[in-house]
């Protein structure tokens, strides 16, 4: 599979040792970061974020990533946007060339994917210090002892959200 930018132009692939070398995150200026975001290839919902496999649709892609790469979505019953939950780490891979589990940076998407497959890092990092970007795809309110489904659309009090995070080690 040829990796290309949004216009379809192929992006140069790193070769040799450069592919395997970790990239220091602090080496880029904001201008370089903005350019990289604008030019980066974005995964579609039917593309595997761990390899070059392309499925017919998102559901088939999830089956592929689950069976082939052992992707496991923690607390799936609380996920409110599964496509967004997969798209978010996909952007870390495609824009940042960063492993979504250990956050190590690489010189290319392919090197990042190879690292994740080889190391078994085909999982979304989800621990006590959960990435704030990931939490927007979850709604844990049904686990609140005083949750009222009739009032489910009410704004979450930030103090309640902090208390819930403290309860679950956040």
Q: Within a domain: residue 8?
A: no
Average pLDDT, the chain: 78
Question: Does 113 share its domain with 162?
Answer: no
Q: How many domains does the structure of the chain reveal? A: 2
Q: Within a domain: residue 133?
A: no
Cβ–Cβ < 8 Å for 86, 79: no
Question: Does 169 share its domain with 95?
Answer: no
Instruction: Average the pLDDT over 71-88 and give the result.
Output: 92
Question: Does 100 share its domain with 148?
Answer: no
Phi-psi region of 120 (alpha: psi -120 to 50; beta: other; left: phi over 0): left
- Using a 10 angstrom Cβ sphere, with 0-12 exposed, 13-18 middle and 19 or more buried, the burial of residue 69 is buried
d(CA 103, CA 50): 14
Task: Name the one residue in this structure whose structure tokens are 């592919």.
Answer: 19
d(CA 50, CA 57): 16
Question: Does 151 share its domain with 122?
Answer: no
Flag whether pLDDT at 169 surpasses 80. Answer: no
Q: Within a domain: residue 147?
A: yes
User: Each residue of 27-47: pLDDT tens digit?
Assistant: 778 898 888 788 888 899 999
d(CA 106, CA 23): 5
- Using a 10 angstrom Cβ sphere, with 0-12 exposed, 13-18 middle and 19 or more buried, the burial of residue 86 is buried
Question: Does 99 share its domain with 146?
Answer: no
* Residue ranges making up the domain that contains 36: 17-127
Q: What is the pLDDT of residue 159?
A: 56
H helices of 13-168, in order, are: 17-20, 30-39, 58-69, 82-94, 109-119, 132-135, 158-167
Cβ–Cβ < 8 Å for 58, 120: no
Question: Does 146 share its domain with 121?
Answer: no
Question: Does 27 share its domain with 77?
Answer: yes
Question: Does 39 share its domain with 103?
Answer: yes
Question: Does 28 share its domain with 95?
Answer: yes
Q: Within a domain: residue 5?
A: no
User: Each residue of 123-161: pLDDT tens digit?
Assistant: 887 765 555 678 889 998 888 888 887 776 655 555 555
């Amino acid at each position: 599979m040829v990796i290309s930018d949004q216009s379809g132009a192929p992006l140069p692939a790193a070769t040799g040792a450069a592919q395997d070398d970790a990239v220091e995150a602090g080496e880029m200026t904001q201008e370089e970061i903005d350019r990289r975001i604008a030019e980066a290839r974005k995964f579609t919902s039917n593309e595997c974020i761990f390899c070059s496999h392309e499925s017919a649709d998102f559901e088939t892609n999830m089956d592929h990533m689950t069976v082939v790469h052992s992707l496991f979505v923690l607390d799936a019953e609380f996920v409110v946007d599964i496509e967004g939950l997969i798209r978010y780490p996909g952007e870390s891979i495609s824009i940042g060339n960063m492993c979504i589990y250990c956050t190590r940076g690489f010189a290319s998407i392919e090197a990042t994917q190879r690292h994740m497959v080889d190391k078994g890092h085909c999982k979304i990092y989800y621990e006590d210090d959960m990435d704030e970007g990931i939490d927007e795809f979850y709604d844990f309110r049904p686990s609140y002892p005083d949750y009222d489904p009739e009032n489910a659309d009410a704004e979450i009090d930030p103090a309640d959200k902090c208390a819930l995070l403290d309860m679950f080690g956040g």
